[in-house]
Amino acid sequence: MPGFKDHFSKVSAGYAAHRPDYPSALLDFLTEIAPAHGLALDCGCGSGQLSALLAARFDSVVATDASAAQIAAATPHPRVDYRVAPAERSGLADGSADLIAAAQAAHWFDLGAFYAEVRRVARPGAALALISYGLPDMDDEPGMIIDDFYGRALDPYWPPERRHIEDSYSSLAFPFVEIAAPSLAIERDWALGEVVGYLDTWSAVRALEKVAGRAPFDAMAAELALAWGDPETPRRIVWPIAIRAGRI
């Protein structure tokens, strides 16, 4: 699609397999701020990490992504209607959505056009939530290796939009009456293979790969394996969640 910055179609299967989903506390918050629980719109849904969870709280969910490959890899759910469409042109009827959400996606949008679409599809009093999570936090040497790879090897290869993740969306324009959001985090106990699979979904890894091949990533993964020990031993990983929420 014109203007679509496609960083993830080529890793859609890995994205579906290795990106974390969201805690129930986030769903509690989204359910609470929505004026009703008829229709939720999940924009930039990727492979449906949030979409299927919303379907447990809303009568129906429309989940859109500009990447056909991401939609093809999405988690099926009988109450989720997955559509290949940009966030700025959802195809929903005017005034139809109780909640509009975008998880780990709003920094890729044309925000002016997206906000116009939000206002068009929102029912009176509907809620908007922009959700992001940052660098995974791990203790000990494995965490230091990931932090170093993120900040040193990958630093020149992150797209400029990444700065919005790093500042918890605080610099995004947000022309709505804000709703205070709770402090939340994604927490998982993952084995080595799950962590390596997740790191391989980063957009900067694809950009580095175009320049230097797989060698830098493979070297990091080998170093991480040495520090990890038994690859089946799970380690706790925490991603702090940032939320910009508002009333339409």
Category of 134 on φ-ψ map: left (φ > 0), alpha (ψ -120 to 50) or beta: beta
Which residues, other chains included, contact 115 with Cβ-Cβ below 8 Å and sequence gap of 6+?
Answer: 173, 175
Work out the angle at residue 226's Cα, subtended by the Cα atoms of residues 225 and 232, and round it to the nearest 5 degrees: 45
Write the pLDDT tens digit of every residue in 59-71.
Answer: 999 999 999 999 9
d(CA 37, CA 126): 10
Write the pLDDT tens digit of every residue in 10-59.
Answer: 455 676 788 898 999 999 999 999 999 999 999 999 999 999 999 999 99
d(CA 201, CA 224): 16
Q: Where are the domains of the chain?
A: 9-136+159-187+239-247
Quick one: pLDDT at residue 7?
44
Would you identify the CATH topology of the domain 9-136+159-187+239-247? Answer: Rossmann fold (3.40.50)
pTM: 0.90
- Residue 232's φ and ψ, nearest 5 degrees, are -85, -10
Q: What is the mean pLDDT of the chain?
A: 93
Average pLDDT of the residues in 187-216: 96
